[in-house]
Structure 1
Amino acid sequence: MASSIKLTLALFFTCSLFLQGTLAEVVCENLPENLCSFAIASSGKRCVLENYKNEDGKLDYTCKSSEVVVERLSGYIESDQCIAACGLDRTFVGISSDAFLTQEFTTSLCSPACYQNCPNIVDLYFNLAAGEGVYLPALCQKQKTSPHRAMFELLSGAASAQAYDSMAPVPAPAPAYYY
């Protein structure tokens, strides 16, 4: 008897997830500004918050679809828990790799709470890092062992960091003897 109740509840829960997914289509232009950043439309396009001046000349915000398509997470609005765990803010305007320039952001992004639980954010910043020539998993690994080294690699580019790693002390030249 108890197992049939559990089965019924599990079936109900599963069906409710499918029903919710089919009834609630996410359209960036219909999202309020407090849900826009880090959302993905049902079409698979990332949502971005943009600012503009309204008729009164005051700064206002609108949510727009970007041209960036995400294959696996269409119709997704990022949770507040992930926003906090990853050190982000829903009022971010646009999408930029500039966040990598602060050690606090990289520490938050690479933390287990973010990196292991927030695939949408990790996917976004994985692609932004790749655009800068940085492999995010390697950056996060360096962040754990040597945060300052991770920042050096990010700021100087992967090639410079590899060259730095391969440099060995150069021995002093042998004195030249002339006869």
Structure 2
Amino acid sequence: MVMIIFLALSLLLQGALAGELICDELPVGMCAFSISSSGKRCSLETSDEPGVFQCKTSEILVHKIREHIETDECITACGADRNVTGISSDFLFDPIFTAKLCSNRCLNNCPNMVDLYSNLALAEGKLLSKRCKAQETHGTPRRAMSEFQSSGIAFAPVSAPLASPVPVSAPSASPVPAFAPVSAPSASPVPVFAPVSAPAASPVTAGAAAVTTPPALSPMGITAAVISALLLLHQFCSF
């Protein structure tokens, strides 16, 4: 306790001389629930090394409080834990924690804690003041928590009324498959570049009918023809 106060005072003195309080420079034991000079909340986070923690600057901005290190008295009075990692609204659903958070000792003396959890409750669509009022009304934390959980939620899904299904009859049609293949008419295969036989033609001379060439005579035939011609000539001369 004395050591924490001494460290806090030393840090505040150092911050006053340096002009700012930086979350990343805070020791692990003073990180949670602290606020830097820029107004951003400090958050205790795990490091890459197992079992080792480090203080980091979160993106949660506080508008009215700067350079604040929460005291042990407020940590105890509000039911918080300085060794908790991260900043979460899960504790708002713990009836024991919220009972201490809504106590007069916390509400009246610890504005930093009240501001933090009021904003976390608002992010869940709930009001911390309504939760604390329910605790005053019902007296028991569990009954107050039941009412708190049943309160309005900002992003609650809205269910539409169910309607009786009405079948709609579509005109019957022959099923036509989408992108059905179209069969081309069958055709006899025609060979490409098939040889074509030209019709045989009779020998034709220019400007005349076709003339048949006589077959060539053998030497014996020529001799016989000459003899026949001489005989005919002899008979003609005899007349």
TM-score (norm 2): 0.55
Q: Tell me how far 1:153 sits from its aligned partner.
A: 2.6
What residue ranges of structure 1 are gaps of 5+ in the alignment?
1-18, 160-179
Q: Which residue of 1 aligns with 2:109?
A: 117
Q: Which runs of 4+ in 1 moved over 6 A?
A: none
Q: Bigger CA drift: 110-119 or 136-145?
A: 136-145
Q: Which residue of 2 aligns with 1:156?
A: 150
Q: Deviations over 1:57-100 (max 9, x none)?
A: x2210100011111111100001100010011110100111001
Q: How does 1:64-79 map to 2 (within 5 A)?
A: 64-79=56-71
Q: How does 1:1-179 map to 2 (within 5 A)?
A: 20=13, 22-23=16-17, 25-54=20-49, 58-146=50-138, 147-158=141-152
Q: Tell me how far 1:52 sits from its aligned partner.
A: 2.2
* Aligned 8 A contact 2:40 2:59 in 1: yes
What residue ranges of structure 2 are gaps of 5+ in the alignment?
1-11, 154-239
* Aligned 8 A contact 2:42 2:58 in 1: yes
* Aligned 8 A contact 1:106 1:143 in 2: no
3-state secondary structure, aligned to 1:62:
strand
- Structure 1 distance, partners of 2:149, 2:48, is 34
* Aligned 8 A contact 1:96 1:128 in 2: yes
Q: Bigger CA drift: 21-30 or 119-128?
A: 21-30
- Structure 1 distance, partners of 2:17, 2:144, is 44
3-state secondary structure, aligned to 2:86:
coil
- Structure 2 distance, partners of 1:53, 1:157, is 40
Question: Aligned-pair RMSD on alpha carbons?
Answer: 1.7
Corresponding letter in the other structure for 1:27: I
Structure with higher strand content: 1
* Aligned 8 A contact 1:41 1:75 in 2: yes
- Structure 1 distance, partners of 2:79, 2:150, is 23
- Structure 1 distance, partners of 2:86, 2:106, is 20
Q: How many residue pairs get matched?
A: 138
* Aligned 8 A contact 2:28 2:54 in 1: yes
- Structure 2 distance, partners of 1:88, 1:94, is 13
